[in-house]
Amino acid sequence: MAPGVNDAIRQLILNGRLNATSVMMPAAYIGADEVDALEMLNAGTTRAAIGLHVTLTAPFKPMSNGFAPLRGGAFPPINDMMRLAMTRRLDIELLTIEIATQLQAFLSAFGHMPDFVDGHQHVHLLPQVRNAFLRVVSEIAPNAWVRQCGRVRAGRALHDPKSLVLDVLSLGFKSQAARHGLTTNPAFAGAYAFTPKARFSRIFPRFLRGLPDGGLIMCHPGFVDSALQSLDPVTTLREHEFAFFNSDAFLHVLAESGVTLAQPSGEARGAA
């Protein structure tokens, strides 16, 4: 998304604090130098699975010609995409072409298919979008696993409306992915309210409750720079996440919970 985000993610992978990251091909900051720097982290020893972060929301722009609808030449904001998807007003063929274009761009940049495929702002879970998303992945990258966002029972806080929506959307997504022969991560955690009062070091331990082997925890570490500020409202919280993951406190939380990061294999499976 931005140079500061890229830098933070690479540092955490190098330090053994992350074992997966996904790439936004429509973003301006995934040129050849960034690709090489990320790939070098896996030279000799695979430190991280590398996936495609399918991007279909503003302020990013389509990579394919003729995509619609647009808002000022860019994808619609996520709330607009949700309304369009829920009322079945998206064009599945145009979605299919755009997602396939992003997947082919990943292949051209990295020289291999992604280990997994997910979606920016969870757009891949939406009705209509998931039809196109799962069709493209199953046809072009069938060995990639795809991210579902359903929590385990122990991690379901009923006062968290965002996560409840993700739970519901993931039910249909998982069953549809299975029909396409695609693997999904067995559980998901990491969603929280991006408010100034959020204390990530206090929030993180609850993500581990009941998480099974292969469970996935989403995170958003990064360093704030002008590029990030122009593209995304989540800024300083990214630095809080980076600080926690780069600290001894993170290692202590993992040890207390009996959790370790899974060794990335590049196979179609999730990573804890």
Residue 54 is assigned to a structural domain of this protein:
yes
Structural domain range at position 126: 3-257
Q: Tell me how many domains the chain contains.
A: 1
Q: How far apart are CA 68 and CA 56, in angstroms?
A: 11
For 29-77, the pLDDT digits (tens) are: 999 999 999 999 999 899 999 999 999 999 999 999 999 999 999 999 9
For 134-192, the pLDDT digits (tens) are: 999 999 999 999 999 998 876 566 566 788 889 999 999 999 999 999 999 999 999 99
* Residue 153, pLDDT score: 73
Residue 116 tokens read as 């997994």
Radius of gyration of the chain (CA): 18
Q: Are 152 and 161 in contact (CB under 8 A)?
A: no
* Block residue for tokens 């993500």: 207
pLDDT at residue 25 greater than cutoff 60: yes
Half-sphere exposure of 179 (CA within 13 A, CB side): 10
Selection from 26, 93, 21 nearest residue 56 by Cα: 26
pLDDT at residue 264 greater than cutoff 70: yes
Residue 186 is assigned to a structural domain of this protein:
yes
Residue 271 is assigned to a structural domain of this protein:
no
Residue 266 is assigned to a structural domain of this protein:
no
pLDDT at residue 240 greater than cutoff 90: yes
Residue 269 tokens read as 């499976």
Residue 267 is assigned to a structural domain of this protein:
no
Q: How far apart are CA 72 and CA 130, in angstroms?
A: 24
pLDDT at residue 82 greater than cutoff 70: yes
* Residue 158, pLDDT score: 54
Across residues 125-130, what is the average pLDDT?
98
The neighbour count for residue 213, using CB atoms within 10 Å, is 11
The neighbour count for residue 212, using CB atoms within 10 Å, is 11
For 187-233, the pLDDT digits (tens) are: 999 999 899 899 999 999 999 999 999 999 999 999 999 999 999 99
Q: What pTM was estimated for this model as a whole? A: 0.93
CA angle (123 as vertex; 201, 223 as ends), nearest 5? 40
Whichever domain contains 82, its CATH number is 3.20.20.370
**Burial state string for 137-169 with b = 16 or more CB within 10 A and e = fewer than 16:** bbeebeebbbbbbbbeeebeeeebeebeebbeb
Q: How far apart are CA 24 and CA 10, in angstroms?
A: 15
Q: Are 99 and 133 in contact (CB under 8 A)?
A: yes
* pLDDT interval class at 270 (50, 70, 90): very low
Residue 10 is assigned to a structural domain of this protein:
yes
Residue 217 tokens read as 């925890």
Residue 269 is assigned to a structural domain of this protein:
no
* Residue 271, pLDDT score: 35
pLDDT at residue 23 greater than cutoff 80: yes
Residue 272 is assigned to a structural domain of this protein:
no
Half-sphere exposure of 69 (CA within 13 A, CB side): 13
